[in-house]
Amino acid sequence: MRASNDLLLTTLETLLCEKKYGVLRELLIIQNPADIAALFEEAPAHSLPLLFRLLPKALAAETFVEMEPDLQELLIRGFSDTELKAVLDELYLDDAAALVDEMPAILVKRILRNADPHTRKMINQILQYPEDSAGSIMTIEYVRLRPHMTVEESILHIRRTGVDKETIYTCYVTDNNRKLIGIISAKTLLLSDDDALVEDLMETNPIFVHTTEDKERVAQLFDKYDFLSLPVVDEEQRLVGIVTVDDAIDVLQEAYTEDIERMAAIVPSDRPYLKTSAFELYKARIPWLMILMVSATFTGMIITSFESALAAQVVLTAFIPMLMDTGGNCGSQSSTTVIRGLSLGELAFSDLPRVLGKEFRVSLLCGLTLSAVNFLKLLFFDRVGITIAAVVSLTLICTVFCAKLVGCALPILSERAGFDPAVMSSPFITTIVDAISLTIYFSIATFLLHL
Amino acid sequence: MRASNDLLLTTLETLLCEKKYGVLRELLIIQNPADIAALFEEAPAHSLPLLFRLLPKALAAETFVEMEPDLQELLIRGFSDTELKAVLDELYLDDAAALVDEMPAILVKRILRNADPHTRKMINQILQYPEDSAGSIMTIEYVRLRPHMTVEESILHIRRTGVDKETIYTCYVTDNNRKLIGIISAKTLLLSDDDALVEDLMETNPIFVHTTEDKERVAQLFDKYDFLSLPVVDEEQRLVGIVTVDDAIDVLQEAYTEDIERMAAIVPSDRPYLKTSAFELYKARIPWLMILMVSATFTGMIITSFESALAAQVVLTAFIPMLMDTGGNCGSQSSTTVIRGLSLGELAFSDLPRVLGKEFRVSLLCGLTLSAVNFLKLLFFDRVGITIAAVVSLTLICTVFCAKLVGCALPILSERAGFDPAVMSSPFITTIVDAISLTIYFSIATFLLHL
């Protein structure tokens, strides 16, 4: 692989100091845009405009796309109108639209003023699609072929117009009304006879999505079908754009981060950890902590209502943490498995009975094992009486049982009700299971110990 | 989109009953391989060989690759040697290697016997790479060009040899010793003059990985650099294969599933939930449940050691669940954020001081807010005495503080020590934080309440 970034950074700073811009430029242009962007993030901010101007036009634009929004903003503020226009001209439309979406209003005006009228119109159109829709991540720069074209004409068409297209590897065949009627890969074109017709070679039953389709579902289609790009159509099935695999991977990564943040009771954000201030992290974390803390009041009330029983048998308190934790762990195992199944599309609402049946069996197996081990441990290690051991072990079976059923059912029901199932994960389930397990615990104790 | 699978399945079963194989074939060949595989999963097992034989050779192979291992096994057992050979001939080498890896030994022998000698040799070679390495997911069917070839020669070469290649869109340029010296995209070739030379157009500083590189890191490179494929080299930097973006997406999805399973204290498996038996789920879940249950003994022991204090003030018991849950939630927020940062490559061991500093500030903010709200709630809602309120609220601040620091530090330290940081997640952290918070609780209580 490459020299480590740290070394490169030092070299870059030395060259900057010594004003060896020629060498600096040679050194930069052999790097990958993503690496240059990472270097620029670390470089001194005041030298950024200078460094950026060293890059050739196309590389500059590609690097710009890879940068974090705060750095993009810094650069744009320093650009002359001519420089801004040059960068905008090199951007693909989906990247330009993403940029406009992220910049503060004052810069957006300047960006749109400097974009050419066609680009401006297209950026505005892309920005009109709902935030999480296929429309919002698509690009409109794709290769369009007609059914009656020959392979030779098609390849010529690609060679003539391909330079501005985000991908030339999948071409889209439309009729006179721009309706999508087929797709054909560059591979098929290259491997076919020059005078074969596109309509005879194309795949006529292409998978497509509507502009309003959820972008996460679009990304899952890439996983399922191994696409390099996917056509996006409007309500009249006219082709309006394509989503490419690199954007699909970004959506998957983002969706996954969001999922596990929700599952850990964090309000999702899309900024990297080290770029997020402590106050922002606080704002993302405090709402659920507060809600869950206040919910724990109910658990406290359950304990208070059994206070006299507890006072008579203080030893019961010692097993509260074990029962709560085991219940929480069982519940989060089930909920995590089900949430992942839902987001991979392996599970749906109609599977609820099968899931419940399976979790029922798993909970019996887990409950019996844990409770047997626990019973022996209580008798021989903790040396409590057989009745106490029975109370704790019976509670354990019931807790595991309830935890697994609540844990698997809530995410499925929550998705059915239109909420994100990831919210129904460990912290939330734990709070519910706590209340259930303590109620069971004290009820069994009151009964068996005659409290 | 397509007709729903259920409807298609019914149609398929009716056509099977009525032996209308011609129509059935027409209906199948317009489907996507992944969809046909999904249909076959649902179709009656005894009709599977018949259905499979209806597919044209290439489509049959593509469908075969998309099937679950148990169905593949069923089919192979029913194949004649000729049929097996026909399917094997159509498979890409990486898929054939994956198949051999998954089948039982007896079938592996049959598969290798029916593969042609070259394929057999290559399969064995791929299978020699460690399970999670780049080598194990690469394919060796790529387009290789030489530096002195012209664009026209290169395109001709692609057209002549491309049919067996997994991708023709990125071509690899090697010297006489097969050393990788550059890459060039089909787009560049198509958009350049016929008589330009490959060596003048190619990117000369390509990013590559070694065969032993961890496959998750390889997949993250696809995310970072938006590649369609990535070259894999041996120790002498000779090109031995490529990884394609579809395999990279599979690795990402698998890695996510593994991560969140570990984070929920489940032993990872790669089978879909509905295909996993209750006993297998039990085996994946019971080890950590058992370990964590037994660890909770320490928490119980802490409570037991403060039993006399508790007996004097039973009301303290009511706040144990709230303190434990809040501690657990705070800890898992931090650990989840850090684990995700580590797997995205945003965080490394050297960031530990920055992370600790940030979590320190966040924990102060969260601790103060929660504890203020809790103090007011205790005084005005629960109507406990001011000393008890002070004990609980002080404990809360300390618990949040410890939970956040333990939560962020353990995953980083665990990765440093060579373990998967995902194991250091909520369940594990919760168990540690429980013990810490209860010790703090009773210590403060003993001191302030003079117990």
Cβ–Cβ contacts within 10 Å for residue B326, how many?
28
Residue A322 to residue B272, Cβ atoms within 8 A: no
d(CA A275, CA A272): 5
d(CA B386, CA A393): 37
Domain presence at residue A79: yes
Domain presence at residue B264: no
Instruction: Please count the CA atoms within 13 angstroms of the CA of A121 that sit on its side-chain side.
Output: 3
Q: Does B326 touch chain A (CB under 8 A)?
A: yes
Check residue A185 and give its pLDDT.
93
Domain presence at residue B283: yes
Domain limits for position B90:
5-137
CATH of the domain at B296: 1.10.357.20
Stretch B292-315: mean pLDDT: 85
Query: Do the bridges between strand A170-174 and strand A229-233 make them parallel or antiparallel, or are there none, so unpaired?
Result: unpaired
d(CA A256, CA B343): 12
Check residue A344 and give its pLDDT.
82
d(CA B435, CA B335): 17
Sequence-separated (6 or more) residues with CB below 8 Å from residue B338? A273, B347, B355, B407, B408, B411, B412, B421
Residue A326 to residue B292, Cβ atoms within 8 A: yes
Domain presence at residue B268: no
Sequence-separated (6 or more) residues with CB below 8 Å from residue A330? A363, A366, A399, A400, A403, A404, A407, A433, B285, B289
Check residue B4 and give its pLDDT.
53
Indicate the length of chain B as a whole number. 451
Higher pLDDT, A252 or A103: A252
Q: pLDDT, tens digit, for every residue of B60-96?
A: 888 988 888 888 888 888 888 888 888 888 888 888 8
**pLDDT > 70: what percent of chain A?**
99
CATH of the domain at A157: 3.10.580.10
Sequence-separated (6 or more) residues with CB below 8 Å from residue A75? A48, A49, A52, A64, A67
Check residue B143 and give its pLDDT.
93
Higher pLDDT, A2 or A401: A401
Check residue A17 and give its pLDDT.
84
Residue A40 and residue A122 in one domain:
yes
d(CA A448, CA A390): 9
pLDDT class of A8 with cuts at 50, 70, 90: confident
Q: Does B355 touch chain A (CB under 8 A)?
A: yes
pLDDT class of B3 with cuts at 50, 70, 90: very low
Chain B positions touching A285 (Cβ under 8 A) are 330, 333, 362, 366
Helix/strand/coil for A167: coil
Residue B368 and residue B390 in one domain:
yes
pLDDT class of B401 with cuts at 50, 70, 90: very high
Q: Does B4 touch chain A (CB under 8 A)?
A: no
Chain A positions touching B438 (Cβ under 8 A) are 321
Stretch B181-187: mean pLDDT: 94
Check residue B101 and give its pLDDT.
81
**Domain final residue, candidates A133, A155, A184:** A133
Model confidence at A330: pLDDT above 90: yes
Domain presence at residue A96: yes
Model confidence at B451: pLDDT above 60: yes
Residue A253 to residue B252, Cβ atoms within 8 A: yes
pLDDT class of B388 with cuts at 50, 70, 90: very high
B positions 60-79 inside 8 Å of A (CB): none
Spatial CA neighbour of B154 closest among B116, B186, B111: B186
Beta bridge partners of B230: B243
CB pairs under 8 A between A and B: 346
Cβ–Cβ contacts within 10 Å for residue A363, how many?
27
Stretch A195-210: mean pLDDT: 93
- List the beta strands (DSSP E) in A95-244: 144-145, 170-174, 180-185, 209-210, 229-233, 239-244
d(CA A345, CA A225): 13
**Domain final residue, candidates A227, A245, A263:** A245
Model confidence at A124: pLDDT above 80: no
CATH of the domain at A103: 1.25.60.10
Residue B181 and residue B293 in one domain:
no
Model confidence at A374: pLDDT above 50: yes
Residue A419 and residue A379 in one domain:
yes
Chain A positions touching B344 (Cβ under 8 A) are 253, 257, 272
Residue B319 to residue A299, Cβ atoms within 8 A: no
Stretch B305-331: mean pLDDT: 88
Residue A283 and residue A429 in one domain:
yes
User: Alpha-carbon dihedral of residues B356, B361, B363, B365, nearest 10 degrees?
Assistant: -170
Check residue B219 and give its pLDDT.
93
Spatial CA neighbour of B325 closest among A280, A57, A265: A265
Structure tokens at B411: 């995953």
Check residue B162 and give its pLDDT.
85
Check residue A2 and give its pLDDT.
37
Residue A433 and residue A307 in one domain:
yes
Residue B221 and residue B244 in one domain:
yes
Query: Do the bridges between strand A170-174 and strand A144-145 make them parallel or antiparallel, or are there none, so unpaired?
Result: parallel
Check residue A197 and give its pLDDT.
95
8 A C-beta contact, residue B388 and residue B343: no
Domain presence at residue A166: yes
Residue B127 and residue B168 in one domain:
no
Residue A204 to residue B30, Cβ atoms within 8 A: yes
pLDDT class of A4 with cuts at 50, 70, 90: low
Residue A311 to residue B311, Cβ atoms within 8 A: yes
Residue B391 and residue B423 in one domain:
yes
d(CA B439, CA B327): 13
Residue B159 and residue B128 in one domain:
no
Residue B158 and residue B189 in one domain:
yes
Sequence-separated (6 or more) residues with CB below 8 Å from residue A264? A425, A426, A427, B332, B333, B335, B336, B337, B426
Q: pLDDT, tens digit, for every residue of A132-181?
A: 889 888 888 899 999 999 999 999 999 988 888 888 999 999 998 889 99
Burial class (CB in 10 A: 0-12, 13-18, 19+), A430: buried
Model confidence at B11: pLDDT above 60: yes
Instruction: Please count the CA atoms within 13 angstroms of the CA of A265 that sit on its side-chain side.
Output: 29
Domain presence at residue B266: no
Q: Which of A28-42, A204-218, A230-244 has the lowest mean pLDDT?
A: A28-42
pLDDT class of A5 with cuts at 50, 70, 90: low
Structure tokens at A391: 């109370």
The average confidence (pLDDT) of chain A is: 87
8 A C-beta contact, residue A93 and residue A122: yes
Chain B positions touching A324 (Cβ under 8 A) are 321, 324-325
Residue A394 and residue A350 in one domain:
yes
Q: pLDDT, tens digit, for every residue of B245-262?
A: 999 999 998 888 888 888
Stretch A255-284: mean pLDDT: 85
8 A C-beta contact, residue B450 and residue B387: no
For chain A, the C-alpha Rg in angstroms (whole number) is 30
Q: Of all helices (H) and strands (E), which one includes residue A379?
A: helix A352-380
Number of domains in chain A: 3
Q: pLDDT, tens digit, for every residue of B270-295?
A: 778 888 888 888 998 898 889 888 88
Q: How far is B281 from chain A (nearest CA, A)?
A: 7
Cβ–Cβ contacts within 10 Å for residue A296, how many?
25
Chain B positions touching A225 (Cβ under 8 A) are 32, 34
Report field, pTM of the whole predicted structure over 0.80: no
Task: Quickly list DSSP for B275-344.
Answer: GS-HHHHHHHHHHHHHHHHHHHHHHHHHHHHTHHHHHHTGGGGGGHHHHHHHHHHHHHHHHHHHHHHHHT
Chain B positions touching A262 (Cβ under 8 A) are none
Residue B373 to residue A293, Cβ atoms within 8 A: yes
**Domain final residue, candidates B137, B154, B187:** B137
Q: How far is CA A151 from CA A191, A192, B150, B155, B205, in A?
A: 10, 7, 22, 14, 34
